[in-house]
């Protein structure tokens, strides 16, 4: 997945900074800009997405926020799993 996202960012002429500020998995900037153009979180486990990953993304002032996560096999509705746990 990282290769796909990196290739997309490069095609948009963005510069990647990994583990920026120790919080987000990926941060991309337009050249010579102090404000992130895009930030991203990539998680294998969906359980902490609503309590940890989404708040981290929302705290960023980036123009685009990207979350990539995976549901467990056989699960189709992350929101119902979260609210019913």
- Say which residue the tokens 């359980």 belong to: 47
* Model confidence, pTM: 0.72
Examine the pLDDT at 28 and tell me if it is beyond 80: yes
User: pLDDT tens digits, residue range 29-57?
Assistant: 998 898 999 998 888 877 788 888 999 99
Q: What is the pLDDT of residue 19?
A: 55
Give 85 or 73, the one with higher predicted confidence: 73
Band (61; pLDDT cuts 50, 70, 90): very high
Bridge partner residues of 65 (DSSP): 39
The separation between CA 65 and the C-alpha centre of its own chain, rounded to angstroms, equals: 6
Q: Which domain holds residue 44?
A: 2-83
Q: What is the pLDDT of residue 47?
A: 77
Q: What is the pLDDT of residue 57?
A: 93
Q: What is the pLDDT of residue 80?
A: 63
The number of distinct structural domains making up the chain is: 1
């Amino acid at each position: 997945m990282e290769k796909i996202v990196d290739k997309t960012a490069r095609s948009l002429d963005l510069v990647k900074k990994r583990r920026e500020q120790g919080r987000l998995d990926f941060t991309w900037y337009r050249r010579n800009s102090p404000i992130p153009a895009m930030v991203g979180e990539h998680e294998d486990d969906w359980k902490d997405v609503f309590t940890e990953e989404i708040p981290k993304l929302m705290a960023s002032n980036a123009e685009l926020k990207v979350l990539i996560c995976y549901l467990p096999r056989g699960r189709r509705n992350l929101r119902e799993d979260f609210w019913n746990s």
